[in-house]
Structure 1
Amino acid sequence: LGNKAASGTAIIEELGEEHLKSRKPICYTSADSVFQIAAHSDIYPLAELHKLCEVARKLCDPYNVGRVIARPFEGTPGNFNRTKDRHDWSIELPGKMLLDYLREEGVETVAVGKIGSIFNEQGIDVSHHDAGNEACIRKTFEIAREKTDKDQFVFVNLVDTDMIYGHRRNPRGYHDAVAAIDAVLPELESLLNVGDVLAITGDHGCDPTFKGTDHTREHVPLIFKTSGSELLTAEKASLGIRESFSDLSVSIQKVFGKNAQGNGTVFL
């Protein structure tokens, strides 16, 4: 069913009842390079939906589709809700990236939330598949409180501003989600050891006040917080508008004292 570009919540309202009767999966796309399959959890249990998506991933590979996404939902006609059991199958990366470089240099790489799915678990030592901001923040604090002698890079994705509020164009919910993140930052900063760095950014815009339901193209923030270190001089306090996310990649490698590999310009 479907086979068109559509909003994820709108298409399950439109075709959900027919899906329950026909048992046919709902297939749709958006402005992003994605192929999404939505199915009610009573019709396609998660394992079966995943099998569909694995087949779809192979079929999408020749077209370089970025991601295949499982979109399970539940409820009854007029009251369908997507669950938090979304899963992504990304196209195979064309080469190495930050996680690979750090891992090869002996840095333990830890993923929280959607990160493992986004990168097909490539370059990741430990992957925590917590769903939702609250669970991912809780897991991040657990990791920050653990004692370790290893150099460690923790990559966390907080998806609610995008998936729940940005695409749904819900400014109040978006505000509250950002405020909730902001509220826990002082405690997270207090857990940083000397030499630790907290980097905060976004992978794209998703303005909840803009028309439509897709991603938006504003600049995203880049905040680099250091603890007990003069890593950033006063002259470099403003990072300016960067040319590429690769600038963050090579700068993180420098934090760990590694030779920067890949593209990008170090801003430290």
Structure 2
Amino acid sequence: MPNTAILMVIDAVGLKTIEYLISKTKRNNIKLDSLSYLGIREMINPNLRKKIKGNLRTKLNKKAYRINQASKTADSLIGHREMVGIIDNNVYNLFPDGFPENYLKKLEEAVGRKTFFNKMAGGMEAIELNYKRQEETGDLIVYASKCDPLIQIAMNEEIIPIDEQRFIADSAFKIAMEMNIPITRAIARSYIRKGNEIIRTPNRYDAVLGLKNKTLIDIMNENCICSVSVGKTSDLVNTKYYEKIKITKKEFLDPKLKLKFVHPAFKDSNPYNVQGIINALKSSKVIYRPKGTFIFANLVDTDSVYGHTRDVEGAIDSIEETDKSIKKIIDIMDKEDILIITADHGMEHREDYGYHSNEELFAFVCSKKFNLEKITNISYPGLTQIGAIVSKYFNIEKDYSKIIKD
């Protein structure tokens, strides 16, 4: 049976970020059985190690790396793309003063709706301040992200249909490219209101910067290796996948797995994405895949739910639940399967907000029986090393090395 490689990205958890969270938490007992076994304790400040408890009672072949992003900008899109072979030397700046008026005028003409607000803000903040006008007039809440080089447009999906929201995001991105406004995405932030509560729905849509070069995923497609994206990875690396898994309803969570929501209002999505990884892994064992399966997954909550909000205790709880999920995934891996765990960037907690940071990251590779020496004794720049390990596992390193050189 062909084998499976899993790449699991724990969003916004660099080594400096982990040290900050541990130093600020009120807890003295952070249970990380899986990550401790793989080597996270040895990578952080010795004075903080004692707060991390636990270890797996298992025997795995394993490798641990310290790794730095080669691309210039700390961003989820940039980090994930580098993992599959694209180094981006462009510098993408934020928009603290909002977007140019002539850009927004062109957008209004293209979509037939007015825009307003046009300030840098957090997502919920922008909606909470402006939902009344949006819902009364149908005008678009436009705001700049505090951490990513992108435009966000918030719309109540009961006022503006989803198809129109996607058209608006596509138009915003297209016009930005025509005017050389350096953004990586235009996001339609769909929400609804239930009484006084604002709820961002799963119908978010990202119009994304196109891929200028071939990626590891494209090479897999050419070599009959089945690629499966879980969560937002297919939005970030927007190429063709054999399968895309995006679970958004609790009914699809297997109760036997006991996947736990950390957020009291169930705003976290990691349980859905862990379920997606497990579904993809189990499918890879029963559906014929001639050259194997690559599962590319993102666990976003340490970024979107707990990172930008600077929720230290929530982030620690989320990492603990992720750690438990790693054990669940390892338990059902075949002997020759491999699991790679890394992060896409860090998170700097400032007084006003959590901002993406370009910092040293961890990378762990493990397998029950596969000889990791065959695939890890290589050297590639930055996070392209991750893709190189995967390419060597699937015997396509020669093709992968060409896209790095190009």
**Is the shorter-chain TM-score for this pair beyond 0.5, marking a shared fold?**
yes
Matched, 1:61 2:164: no
Query: Which residue in 2 is equivalent to 1:119?
Result: 237
Shift of 1:159: 1.4
- Residues 172 and 114 of structure 1: CA distance in aligned 2, closer, same or farther (over 3 Å): same
Which of structures 1 and 2 has the bigger CA Rg?
2
Query: Which residue in 2 is equivalent to 1:102?
Result: 220
Contact 2:338 2:370 (C-alpha < 8 Å) held by counterparts: no
Query: Which residue in 2 is equivalent to 1:246?
Result: 384
Structure with greater contact order relative to length (CA < 8 Å, sep ≥ 6): 2
> What is the number of residues matched between the two proteins?
258
- Residues 86 and 221 of structure 1: CA distance in aligned 2, closer, same or farther (over 3 Å): farther
Contact 1:17 1:77 (C-alpha < 8 Å) held by counterparts: no
Amino acid at match of 1:125: Y
Measured on the aligned residues, the alpha-carbon RMSD in Å equals: 2.4
Matched, 1:258 2:396: yes
Partner Cα distance (1:60, 1:26) in 2: 17
Matches within 5 A, 1:133-144: 133-144=270-281
Shift of 1:220: 2.5
Query: Which residue in 1 is equivalent to 2:141?
Result: 26
Contact 1:116 1:129 (C-alpha < 8 Å) held by counterparts: no
Amino acid at match of 1:139: G
Sequence identity percentage: 25
Q: 1:198 aligns with which of 321, 334, 339?
A: 339
Partner Cα distance (2:345, 2:247) in 1: 21
Query: Which residue in 2 is equivalent to 1:128?
Result: 245
Unaligned runs of 5+ in 2: 1-115, 249-268
Contact 1:34 1:68 (C-alpha < 8 Å) held by counterparts: yes
Contact 1:36 1:68 (C-alpha < 8 Å) held by counterparts: yes
SS of equivalent to 1:95: coil
Matches within 5 A, 1:143-222: 143-146=280-283, 147-150=286-289, 151-207=292-348, 209-211=349-351, 212-222=353-363
Shift of 1:185: 1.5
Matched, 1:35 2:151: yes
TM-score, normalised to structure 1's length? 0.87
Shift of 1:42: 2.1
Partner Cα distance (2:395, 2:381) in 1: 23
Amino acid at match of 2:118: N
Query: Which residue in 1 is equivalent to 2:83?
Result: none
Partner Cα distance (1:201, 1:210) in 2: 24
Matched, 1:47 2:163: yes
Partner Cα distance (1:246, 1:196) in 2: 20
SS of equivalent to 1:124: coil
SS of equivalent to 1:68: strand
Query: Which residue in 2 is equivalent to 1:75?
Result: 193
